[in-house]
Amino acid sequence: MGSCFGLLARRKEEESHRASGMEISGSVALITGGARGLGRGFAEKLLEKGGKVCLADIDGTEGAKTLQELQATHGADNVHFVVCDVTKDEDFKGAWDSATDKLGPVTLLINNAGVGNEQNWKLTIDVNLGGCIRGTYLALERMGTNKGGPGGTVVNISSIAALRPNPFGPAYAATKSGIVALSRSLGHDFHFKISGVRVQVLCPTLVDTDFLASSLKHVFSPEVAQALPQFSRKLKKITVETVANALIQLLEEGKNGGCMSVEADKEPYYVDASIP
């Protein structure tokens, strides 16, 4: 009988790990690729919910501009900016230290920095997948309760390209698929019980930012360069705000290992792994 009660208790504990979300108000978030696009949108939404944010971006000029604008709206004490190249360990650690010094202990990391360069696929792997691995491992080290940290949440930004074939960006799709696998693996309750850190992943479809225009400069082939603009015009883009709202839903629902897809004309939905 005792073993049955123990099993039920463990199941209830695991369900609470999956279901209880984070308290955004008063939290401190570090957002890579935070100077523009989705990163900025995430920052604005978290600030509206009462959080503090540190924007980390390789573009110091745009970052300084965004910092000034967000501080004017949300207060100088609630927003910080630091130049960060997510391919460099020392930059990532320095960004984390700077965020902690200025805003307090970081309890949310959003690995958002990304590129779509099919010609320099090594860079695409190092920024997209390498940046997420680098950041997630650092978060486990800094936030993990087993390391003396407060616990927390990591959200890795992937793409619908991780869940469906993408003939126009094979290297990009490969990195985004790797991000989903990384997040589901480290988002397993086995790791949460050790570290107290949730790992989640967000997979938006084409977002109305300048990312596609930038990617067109470094396409896979001349044939892709010719076909991609026409194909993209057929797709209904989603807004940055739509994705930012989905981020808040993901955080507040707190589904550890959750993979949330965000598409036009649909409510955000979870995509379960094919193998349990």
d(CA 108, CA 28): 6
CATH code of 263's domain: 3.40.50.720
Q: Whose structure tokens read 């709206």?
A: 73
d(CA 185, CA 200): 10
Query: What is the rounded average pLDDT of the residues 199-206?
Result: 94
Question: What share of the chain has pLDDT > 90, as a percent?
Answer: 73
Q: Facing residues of 31 across strands?
A: 55, 110
- Please report whether residue 11 resides in a domain: no
d(CA 141, CA 159): 26
- Please report whether residue 18 resides in a domain: no
Residue 227, pLDDT > 80, answer no
- Please report whether residue 12 resides in a domain: no
Count other Cβ atoms within 10 Å, centred on residue 171.
21
Token duo for residue 3: 């073993």
Q: How confident is the model at residue 5 (pLDDT cuts 50, 70, 90)?
A: very low
- Please report whether residue 204 resides in a domain: yes
d(CA 79, CA 42): 13
- Please report whether residue 1 resides in a domain: no
pLDDT digit string, tens, across residues 203-219: 998 775 565 555 566 66
Q: List, in sequence order, every beta strand (DSSP E) within the chain.
A: 28-32, 52-57, 79-83, 108-111, 152-157, 197-204, 259-262, 269-270
Is 172 designated active site? yes
Indicate the number of domains in the chain: 1
Domain span at 77: 23-270
Q: What share of the chain is helix, strand, coil (3-state, %, to 5)?
A: 55, 15, 30
Query: What is the rounded average pLDDT of the residues 39-56?
Result: 98
Residue 168's pLDDT is what? 78
Residue 12's pLDDT is what? 43
- Please report whether residue 227 resides in a domain: yes
Query: What is the rounded average pLDDT of the residues 218-236?
Result: 65
Q: How confident is the model at residue 164 (pLDDT cuts 50, 70, 90)?
A: confident
Q: Which of 137, 172, 269, 270 is catalytic?
A: 172
- Please report whether residue 72 resides in a domain: yes
Residue 146, pLDDT > 90, answer yes
Among 181, 172, 188, residue whose Cα is nearest residue 126:
172
d(CA 117, CA 89): 21
